[in-house]
Every structure is written in structure tokens, then in C-alpha cells.
Structure 1
């Protein structure tokens, strides 16, 4: 009986003392947080520290009086993300986490009033004292919109919401602030960032911003931190700030000095790319130094061609990239539009002699140049290939040549009227890129060649992305409140300053892929059973008794010619399918039959896009997919009946594949493998095409729902305003 009681006690303890992964699963199951925040919590503390306190409390052993750094970090982060989730975890796991009042006491030790944060500079001083080498930092500043309102804070018994730059003045005489200027330091030779101050403002002149920057740099020098760069976006006030600091952009002088320290000026490359895209989309036509036309119309033609054919030429170009006016702030749309993949697609259309793309050489050159420059300015390490590699001794000559040519190219771009773009009203994006290229080379020579504190220069560390992610965390505090008020901003800033490890919620990059069981070489498996299991799908529709019309329709499709554009894209997709199937095949002979000779694809899209990782399909794989695409052309033209065609296409091709010589060399190896190999190719390709087709239809359906709801609310408002309606 004693053993039984002890066993039951152990079972109860094992249920109560769950592991750390179970805790995270419970939070996700109860929808207290999403997957991105769950991954953040997993990095804050592990089972060792969390379970140590839980076991000690359940057994009755004395616990440590002070919480460990890992527990403090986990508790503050979880409470920041969701107080409700924090209370749930604390109750469920035997109150092993500190009480919320304890967290409030930790917060009370930080002032976090508007102005420069004393606690942040104390942390920087400690970091500089414990570091074995000089700490190099990039200073970033930007404004965030806040709600214009006065708010009472019961803890400090103070009204917040008026202009406050950290000075003790009569707050009642100042106007209400609508922006918050934040200064943040990002370590270049480390992996941390820290906000050092914020100011509630309405608008600041360049002279006022320059004064704040000088004070910030002076404080950093006093605690032993070396600031080497200053980054901001492109408003006129920021250019005026650089002039006040000592930069002269007209003579390409992009540096200024402060207490014998050289500081390099940067305009955020992402903002520069967006401004450049906006100028290109609205002005429509540029001319380069050779007189070649750079026309936005070619991008529209490419998007229309891909939409009409239902096949994308290895680009991410969509209608949102072309009609971007309601999504101007999305960097993704700008960089994917002005990209190498779009340039490759235009060049291939030119090789296919499609009439709409004749004369697009200037546009291709423009896209390639902008893409290469942005890759260098957004580089992170020396491991990626091509221009995405960070600047180091092995590629500095190539980068200098690229930047020299790009600067001359951008300076000589003209409008149809003959005016240079760098002198026009839309000059900010072009001048910003030129400024960044000059500063990047100077910063590399200063840090790597002169003072020799770095082996390579990761230019991503000087970008404004780190501050934008900080703003995203601030907004997430209020349930993604785009315009928090002054009290909400101050509270979120205070919590983020105290060890809260917060990331942007839009960084999730996990896509589940469905496994397809195909092709085994076991002699114990019945081939007929394997075929039936492989083709078994719940979504299949039974064949009608009289399918003569379908037969005639498919026969006509089989012998129609496919346009050169579609055939080129299908060949490119064939390489992807060959590589995907080869990873799952256990039969080496069948895997070899999927790949072809690269010499047969010299003028193909695969050769143009290949940078070492693409594969070339065999003629048999390409032949199968081209025939299937011909059939699907007729299927997609009838969207109301598309679900009934899946099995029809499948069975039709399988019944008539003997008419064509496909994978004949497999006959000597295993006749059943020939059938299964063709079946696998068909299934993979059709799943891919129907997934794209369904995604496109879903977007149209959601658009109709949005329009319907908008119409409903508009009519409701009209009825409220005028009951006679």
C-alpha cells in the first residue's frame, strides 16, 4: 500500500511538473499567443531554471531567494506579451513565477521618462567595461506616430501627451504631441540593440535634431561607446540635420566629426528603395546615359502576361506590386518589383521575341543595377553568394567598381523633359542610394582597413530595420495599436527596456509541406495495391458513364501547340519537380531518369536563373508536363467545373501514355516503376497548379466579401442618416 501511494504521488507530480514545451503548447492551445511569440519564449528560459523552482516548491525544498536572470527574462517577456497568459502559467505551475506585484517593483527601478534614459546609458557603461574590445555602434533615429491626446497616469500622478523633450518646463503651456522621436543604438561588432531615449514632439527642425544627436553621441562617448554611423529616413528635415552636423552632400562629403570621432551618414536603404519605386511608378519613364528607355509599362505587361497564362516566370510579381499605391510602406513590394528575377523574366521574354517587350533592355539594366546595390547595402555576413555577401577584403574591389558605376548611372538618369532625376522633385530616393554607397565604402575603409576593428562590414547593422522592429513591439503591446497614446508608449518602452525579449510578430517563416509516399523497391508490395494507394484521394469525382465529349476535348488539347512563354515556364517547373521527387525516391535508376543534359537547355529559363542550385529535367519529364499543361489550359477556362477535371485528366493521361515513348529505359528495370514514376510526376505538378489556381480564386473571393461588407456598412450609414432610404 505504501508503494502504491508513492506511485500515485509520483504520477500526480509528473502531471503537475510538466516540461517547458508542454507549457508553450498549452499557451498556444488556449490562444494566449501565436507561434512567433511562442518561439520567443522558448529562447528566454529552458527547463533547467523553470523546472528547478517548480520541483523545489512541489517537494517542499527551500528555494533560492533571488530569481535567476533567465526566470526574470522569461517572466517579464511573458507578462509583456499577455498578462492573462502570465496569470494562467503562474496558477497552473504552482506559482513558481514571481507575483505581478514583484514585476511592478522591478519596473519601478526604471524611470523611463521622456528624454535620454539614464538606465540605458548605465547598461552601456557596464557593457563597455566588460568588453574586451571597443564597442562599435550605429545610431538610428526615427519618428513613430502616437495618438494626440492628454492621458492621466495614476502612478506618477502626471498628465502625459504634451510635447516633452526631457526638460523640466511648464507642460500646460505646450501643445499636444503627435509623434515620438526614438534614438536606438545597434552594436556592429555584437548582437544587441538598445533604445537610449525618446521625445514627444510635433515636429523638429534639422537644427533641433542635430542638437539631440550631438548630445546622444557625447553621452555615448562618456560611457565608452564609439558611435561610427548615423542612420535616418529621407525627409527634408533629416537632410538639413546632416548639413547642421557638418555633411556636404553636394561635394559627396558624407561624414562629420564629433570629438575626434568620424561618423558616417546613411539614409535607410529600404526607405530609399521605396521612394525610388514610387518615383518610377508615377513618372513612368526614365532615360539612362545611353538614351535607352526605362519604362514602367514593361512591368505591367509582364504581370498581365503571367496572369493570363497562369504561369509565373520564377518571379513574385503580382497585381499588388504594380498597383502599390495603397501599400506604399511595404518594402517587400518594392524590392520584389525592382529585382533580378523580374529582370530575368523580361530578358527571357525578349529572347522569346514577344512583341510587347521589344526595347526593354534599358529597363532590364536598371532593375539589375538597383537589385545589386540593395543586396550589398542589406548584406549581413560573408557566407551568402554574389552581391549579398558583406564587404570584406575579398570583394571590396568588385563592390567599389559596382558602386562607382551605379553612382554615375543614377546621377545621369533623366526625365523625358531632359531634367536629371537627382535634381528633380523626386530626387530623395536616388540621392539616398548615392549617399549610402559613398558612406558604405568610407565606413569599410575606416573600420576594416584603418583602425582594423572588424574583418568584414555587415551593412544591415546600420539600417533602420532594428528600430522598425522595436516600433512593432511597441504597437504589439496594445494589441497592434498603430497609434498608442503617450502613456501606452511610455509603459511599453519601460517594459522593453527591462530584459523583455520581443520580436516582430511578422517574422514567422514556417511553411508545412505535405509528404508524398511514392516509389518503393520492395518486392513484397503488390504493384496494383501501390497504384491504388497512390491515386487514392478524397476529392476525386467518379467518372461519368458517357465521357466521349471529355475524350474529344482532351484529344484536341493534346495536339494543340503550347505558347513559347508557357512552354519555357513549364520546363523551369519540371526541374523543380525532378529535384523534389528525387529526394523521396529510393530507386536510384528512377531518380537518374528524372535528370537531363544541361547542354539541351542553353537558351532556357533554367540556365538564366541557375546560380548553382537548379537542376535540369530529362526530356521525358518535360514532355509529360507540357502535355498536362495543354490539358489544364482547357480546365482552368471553366472554373465552375474545375473540381471535376482532376481525376479526368489523371485517368486520361494514364490510359494513353503508351502512345508516347516515355521512360522506356525503365521497362527492363521494372515495368511498374514506369507507371508509378509518371503517376508521381503528374500528381506533383497538378497539385502545384491547382494550389496556385485555388489561391488566386481565394483572393478574388475575399475581395468580393470585402466589397460586400463595405457596401453593407455604407448602406447602413445611409439608412441611419436618412431613414427614408
Structure 2
């Protein structure tokens, strides 16, 4: 009872600990028996712990004697001191150890009497007593207690460690019991975005137990065949969104996920270069073979569209990137910079896959050129056994020219929205103008003109829709329609398709009819023609955008059982759209804004023809037709996924597009942003990881040879007697300013070459440890710069001269092709043949074979390194010149950001 107040219990007394007497204090603390406790000045001990003779009661105040020590405590049993007592050994029968021994000689009476006690019984020997009483020991009780306490303490520590390990193991097992736990852990640490979390949860949260067992087994897998398809797609999808998150779960959860280098090897099956992608057609061929085994024909629709990219030049993979490239490389110096990327995609009509067929970096492309690309695409599809039945595009004039070149006629008087298949003239390819784009164009024409007239002369007014929106805003409520202010003020968001579809909807038509017929509102009188127009466009759009096999009404797929109703809608819609006129009475399909109306009519006729060929025929190959398969949405979603890879940059560079395309091409689990459309079905990119594993790589082309032939980079001073060239500047001369820069760059070249050279003699030849160095080098050096040798500086100077000759031969334009570095390094080696470079390597060059001449290799490596540095600099300079002062976008974005 320490720290007890005397006023709480008057019959008890509290005494302080004797801090002034160290020995007595030590005895008090020992008797209290508290582990790791030291009494402080406020600590007290009550009188119950002292014997009566410990108190001095001679005076009026009861005091403790100077030698009083507390000895009375009510400790628990394990702290009480037990009295030691020896128990007598229990009586037991002793074994006769002499049974198996031969009998002793009884004649030896002296020996016999020594083993007998006084009563006549023999005495046991020491070994027998030791075996009968194993508890006997020669160690003292204190030593045994010390050992026991030490063992007990060690056991407690082991139990604690075991408990901690069990808790940690249980915690880890709970985390990796499902991939959803990993996904939530990544989201909590903000390593993945919300869109990535949503995609991963919806796709990989319910993986099989076998997959989780393989993740936990930590098998040393090698190659894609050792990983199940689901695991490969999870790893590649997560690594696509966030390499940091992927590395985090590999290190934290210690799962058997593939190494990032292995993922890059999977990507290597596709080179990702512009043109038609070879692995695509290998994958399609495998798909055709599988369908044939199942008695099924592979039918697809071809979609073509383009996306704007940023004009940007950069030196990557030994050549400048950013120029127009249609698959044959950019080897022409007059090639313009690419501003768009044209993509072709195949979408299965009787399956659930889609696959990009190729892409092309373009500046401008005529209809004839586009027709050539489309024809080549259909030839390739036909060669692998795929039946392409349609071509979908949007409505620019170049696409109308392309369709005329292919053989289609889009004129209303003799409309033929189809053309013969380039590889099989007996088959027709039907043309679709993307319905969503056509709907936007019709909305734009209707809203800008304000008035349309149907074939009977009835007036269709945009004003009715605006008044309905005003009524709903004033009342604060809307009656089951999605008409909002954004649908009326569409001009600020022209590209959003849903703003147009929400206007041309049956719900808006029903609301107008209700306000006119039931509410009798005067501003809606005479809106019957507007209601008919909205309902007709809505019915046609739903029929051309069906995507659910179980859909009802106009959203149902086209079947033989409902062909009468669907064909009636198509026929009525065809005649109705062609009968629309502007306010002056001129047909809309013949006016300046005819594209939307013609495109909608052409799509209705094309879908009717495809329905009769594939479904409503003697030998149908399909039970129903989903018209959403002909939409450009599949390609728009691919573009959105590409933008997602670059942080939703609307205008990626050519390299950014190429990198995203390469990754998206062999994976189908990337969820794109909404962009201009949303995901409506489960159509996925066809997997080509296995089918394209054995694609023959295209060997190095003739780019290096062509560069060397057309560019004379062999140095030489102008002839003194040649008067024609006296006014031409000598490109073989280097100014003092450029010499300073070259010396500085050469120091960086030394640092790079040291990382790649294995020969110590060549490494030593790179630097000059005794010379003073260039004056500019001495000015900039703070102790960390490499001092290049004079020979290495000479190599870099010669390389700069060759680069200047290259620029001179191309008229100041950047050379295209992959052979720039090889051409320059070969020329430098030839130009420096008569110069004694790297004198300390003259004998060393004979230590190896002719092909492995270290002196020549060193000169070429130095020249290549310097060339790459200079080419990066030239590309950056061209990019800055292209940008100029047009930075309004960046300026306004910063202003808007900081204003808010």
C-alpha cells in the first residue's frame, strides 16, 4: 500500500521511504518486490507492512525506528518465499545388478563382510543410488533457480515472437486472400486513380483460387506460357496505369507477379511502328481457324477515323520522330510534320472482339490516298479469311471522295451506299456514315436555321424546344426528360454526342405534346410537326444503335421475327428525312448542310442490305443483327484509352501515341475515359500475345545506305582555284565559340564512354590528366568535369563538321532515316585517317584482330555519342521554332488555374 494518505484511514500511518539512507532504502525496495521500480519523493508505505517492534511509541508521536524495515506483505503465491524442506526418499525395491554376474568366490570372507552392514544386509553402491534417484544433483538450489528463471524468460520471449509472427502472417494472408484487397490497398496509398480502381475491381476482383495460390507460391516463372492469361492481363493492366503501383505490390505483398522486364518482352511481339500491324492479321487468322472448327464464319466491320496529334519532333531510336509516316518510314527530307493519326479497326459483328488493324501518321490525305489504304486493308483481311461487310467513317469531304473512288455513290438521286469488295467483286461492302456524328450535324443545322419543314409543309421549330427548357427551369422541375440548359447551349460543347441525343428523344416529344394537348399552354400550340420530327429521328437512331440482344421496341436487334416493324421504320425514316426542307423550301439533302441528312439515309439503307444478306436469307449466318457494331464508338474508345495513357492529353505526340498503341494492342483490360462516348458493350481488343509471338521482325532497311548515298559527308577544304565556290562559306571551319561548346560537350562524352568501355587502356586514352585543358573548360570546371584528351576533342570537332555538311546537303532540314549516326561515324573515321589520334593506343590497336580494332571502335563510339547529343539538340531547336510565341493555351490555363 504505497502512496497512502493518512486522512483516508486514521488508524493507519504512512511513512516516507528513507532516501537519505541508501542501504536501508535498498532493503525497503527489495522487500517491496516491484520490478523496475524506483520510489520517488512522494512514495509512501503504510504501517501495516511493519512489525510492532519497528515503531517508537515513547512520545506523543508514533515514529519508525531508524533500522525499521518492512517485512509484512500479502504477495501472490509466485512471489512468496517458500521454506525449503528435504523429503526423505521413497522406499522402493532395488534391482539386483549382480544377477547376471558370475558368483564371487565365497572363500574370500573379508571381501564378503565388507559389503554387509551390521544387520547382515548388503549396502547399495553409489551408481545404484544415482540411477534410482535421478532428481539428485550436485548443483546448488540457487544455481538451479537461476537456470530455471533464465529458461522461463527465454520461453516468454519466444512465445511473444511467435505471437507477433502469427499476427503478421494472418494479416498478410488477409491482404492477399483476394486481389480486391490489393486494389484497395493501392487506392488507400493513392497509387492508382479512381478510374483504374473501378476497372480493376470490376475485372479482377473475383479471380479464381488457383490464381491466388500461384501468386503465393512464388514460382520462378519464365515466359508468358508460365503465367495464366488472367494473371498476365492483371499485371499488364496495372503496370499500364501505374508502374509505381505495380512495383509496390510486387515488393510489399511479395507475390509471384511477372517482372517488369518480362512485361516489356511481351510488348516486344508488336513493334508498334506505323502501317498495318502484322500481329493483328496473325491473330485474326488464328481466330478464323477457331471459328471454322466451330462451323462459324468470321464477319467484321471496318471502321476508319483519325485523331489530332501534336506537331512535335524528337530524336528517338536513332532517328527523328514526328514526321508523316504511312508505314514506309520517313526518309524524305521534305516530309512535313504529322498533325493527325489515321487508324483502321476491325469490329466483329458476330463476336465480341475488336482489334486495331494499323495506323498512319498523316498531314493531309486525299480521298484517293485514303481509298488506297482502305483497299489494302480489305485485301489483307480477305487473305486471312475474314469477311468484311461494311466500312464506317464520318462525314468530311475527303471521305466522300474516298467512297466515290471505291465505287459508292452518295448522291440522293441515284444513291448506292456500297462498293464491290476489292478482293472479291461478288461481295458488296456497305458504307456507314457514323450515326452519332450525323445526329450532331442534323442538330446543328436545325438549331442554326431554327425552322425545318416536312414533306407536307408543316413547320418544325427549334423554338419549341427552347421554350420547353425555359418552362422547366422556371418551374424548377422536369417531367421525365433530360432536356437541360446544356442541351440548348450546345455551341460551347459541340463534340458531345449525348447533348444531341437528349434533344432528339421521345421523352422531349412527349413533353411537348403534353404541354400542348393537356396543359393547353399557348407557347406550345402548333408543335405537332416538331413532335413528329423528334419521334422519327429518335426511332431511327435507336434502330441504328441497338446493342442489347434482349432490347425492346426500337432498341431491339434486327431479327427475322421483327423485320416487318424494323423495315417499316427504316422506310418511313428514309422518306421522311429526304422530305425535309429549309425555311426557303429547299430540300435539306441538296443544301449546303446536307451531310447529316444524307449520311443518316445512307446508313439506313446499308443496315437494311446487311440484314437481308446475313439474317433474312435462305442460309442465315446470324440470328440477329446488332447495329451498334457499325458505330465509330469502338474507335473513339481506343482514342480515349490512348489519351488516358498520356494523362488524358487531347493531343499526344507521335511517340506517345506509338507507346500507348503498342501497349493497348496486346491487352484488352484498359478502361478508357468517356471522351465523346461511353462504353455500351463488352467488345474487347483481340488478344495477340500468343498468336504474334513468332512474327518475323523486319530487318534493318536501306535507310542507312540511302543516307550515306545522298549526303556527301567526306570532308575536304574548298579548292583554291575553283572560283565558283569562293563565295560559299567553308563548313569545314569551326568558329571559336563553337570550339568552346564542343570542348564542353566532349567532357560529357567522356563520362558516357567510361560507362560502356571495358578496356582500361582505351578508358585512359579518353582523358588528359597532365594538360591544362581548354580555357573555357577551366572557367566552368568546379572539380567535377571530365578533362577530355586532345584526340577526343578532335574526333568531336570532325563530327560537328560532318553534321554541318548534312544540314547543308538537306538545305537546313533535319535528315530522316535511321542511318545518320552510322553515316557520320564512318565519315569521321575516314576524315581522321591521316591524323595521329590517341598516340598511346598505336601499339594497342595491334593487340586485337582487324575487326576488333580498339582505336577504330573508340573513334566510332565517340562520334556516335556526340552525334546523338547534337541531334537531340537540333530536334529541340526545331520544336521551339515551331511553337514560336503561340503559347496562349498554356497561358490561359495558368490564368484560369490561379484565378480560382
Q: What TM-score bracket applies, with the shorter chain setting the length?
A: 0.5 to 0.7
Cα distance 1:237–1:474, how it changes in 2: closer, same or farther (>3 A)? same
Matched with 1:179 is 340
Contact conserved, 1:338 with 1:370, CA < 8 A, in 2?
A: yes
Matched with 1:33 is 192
Instruction: Tell me the alpha carbon deviations over residues 6-56 of structure 1, each in whole angstroms, 9 at most, x when there is no partner.
Output: 665443233224221111111222233344422432425725355223321
Instruction: Tell me the alpha carbon deviations over residues 159-182 of structure 1, each in whole angstroms, 9 at most, x when there is no partner.
Output: 221111112451432000000000
Contact conserved, 1:254 with 1:265, CA < 8 A, in 2?
A: yes
The counterpart of 1:373, out of the listed 522, 540, 557, is: 540
Asked whether 1:12 is paired with 2:168, we answer: yes
Quote the Cα distance in structure 2 between the aligned partners of 1:389 and 1:458.
Answer: 8
Instruction: Tell me the alpha carbon deviations over residues 600-658 of structure 1, each in whole angstroms, 9 at most, x when there is no partner.
Output: xxxxxxxxxxxxxxxxxxxxxxxxxxxxxxxxxxxxxxxxxxxxxxxxxxxxxxxxxxx
Contact conserved, 1:255 with 1:264, CA < 8 A, in 2?
A: yes
Classify the secondary structure of the residue corresponding to 1:264.
Answer: strand
Contact conserved, 2:512 with 2:524, CA < 8 A, in 1?
A: yes
Classify the secondary structure of the residue corresponding to 2:391.
Answer: strand
Matched with 1:140 is 303
Classify the secondary structure of the residue corresponding to 1:185.
Answer: strand
Q: How does 1:183-222 map to 2 (within 5 A)?
A: 183-222=344-383
Q: CA deviation at 1:108?
A: 2.2
Q: CA deviation at 1:253?
A: 1.2
Moved more, 193-202 or 105-114: 105-114
Cα distance 1:159–1:364, how it changes in 2: closer, same or farther (>3 A)? same
Q: CA deviation at 1:503?
A: 2.2
Contact conserved, 1:54 with 1:93, CA < 8 A, in 2?
A: no
Instruction: Tell me the alpha carbon deviations over residues 73-127 of structure 1, each in whole angstroms, 9 at most, x when there is no partner.
Output: 1111111111122122222221522222222222223111100000111111111
Q: How does 1:211-610 map to 2 (within 5 A)?
A: 211-250=372-411, 251-258=414-421, 259=424, 260-351=426-517, 352-450=519-617, 451-506=619-674
Q: CA deviation at 1:157?
A: 2.3
Matched with 1:158 is 319
The counterpart of 1:105, out of the listed 265, 282, 295, is: 265
Quote the Cα distance in structure 1 between the aligned partners of 2:407 and 2:511.
Answer: 44
Matched with 1:578 is none
The counterpart of 1:129, out of the listed 286, 289, 301, is: 289
Cα distance 1:710–1:398, how it changes in 2: closer, same or farther (>3 A)? same
Matched with 2:767 is none
Matched with 2:811 is none
Q: CA deviation at 1:428?
A: 0.5
Contact conserved, 1:78 with 1:85, CA < 8 A, in 2?
A: yes
Quote the Cα distance in structure 1 between the aligned partners of 2:679 and 2:405.
Answer: 41
Cα distance 1:714–1:168, how it changes in 2: closer, same or farther (>3 A)? closer
Moved more, 500-509 or 168-177: 500-509
Matched with 2:182 is 23
Instruction: Tell me the alpha carbon deviations over residues 192-230 of structure 1, each in whole angstroms, 9 at most, x when there is no partner.
Output: 110010000012111111110110011011111111111
Contact conserved, 1:56 with 1:63, CA < 8 A, in 2?
A: no
Contact conserved, 1:44 with 1:73, CA < 8 A, in 2?
A: no
Cα distance 1:171–1:74, how it changes in 2: closer, same or farther (>3 A)? farther
TM-score by length of 2: 0.55
Quote the Cα distance in structure 2 between the aligned partners of 1:467 and 1:105.
Answer: 26
Contact conserved, 2:288 with 2:386, CA < 8 A, in 1?
A: yes
TM-score by length of 1: 0.68
Contact conserved, 1:162 with 1:171, CA < 8 A, in 2?
A: no
Contact conserved, 1:317 with 1:336, CA < 8 A, in 2?
A: yes
Matched with 2:235 is 75
Instruction: Tell me the alpha carbon deviations over residues 431-467 of structure 1, each in whole angstroms, 9 at most, x when there is no partner.
Output: 1110010001000001113351101100001110000
Q: Which runs of 5 or more residues in structure 1 are unaligned?
A: 510-708, 718-725
Larger Rg belongs to: 2
Q: Which runs of 5 or more residues in structure 2 are unaligned?
A: 1-154, 681-890
Cα distance 1:256–1:6, how it changes in 2: closer, same or farther (>3 A)? farther
- CA root-mean-square deviation: 2.4
Contact conserved, 2:391 with 2:431, CA < 8 A, in 1?
A: yes
Q: CA deviation at 1:382?
A: 3.6
Quote the Cα distance in structure 2 between the aligned partners of 1:160 and 1:110.
Answer: 18
Aligned length: 513
Instruction: Tell me the alpha carbon deviations over residues 335-383 of structure 1, each in whole angstroms, 9 at most, x when there is no partner.
Output: 0011101000000000111011111111000000000000000001341
Contact conserved, 2:560 with 2:616, CA < 8 A, in 1?
A: no
Cα distance 1:26–1:47, how it changes in 2: closer, same or farther (>3 A)? farther
Matched with 1:87 is 247
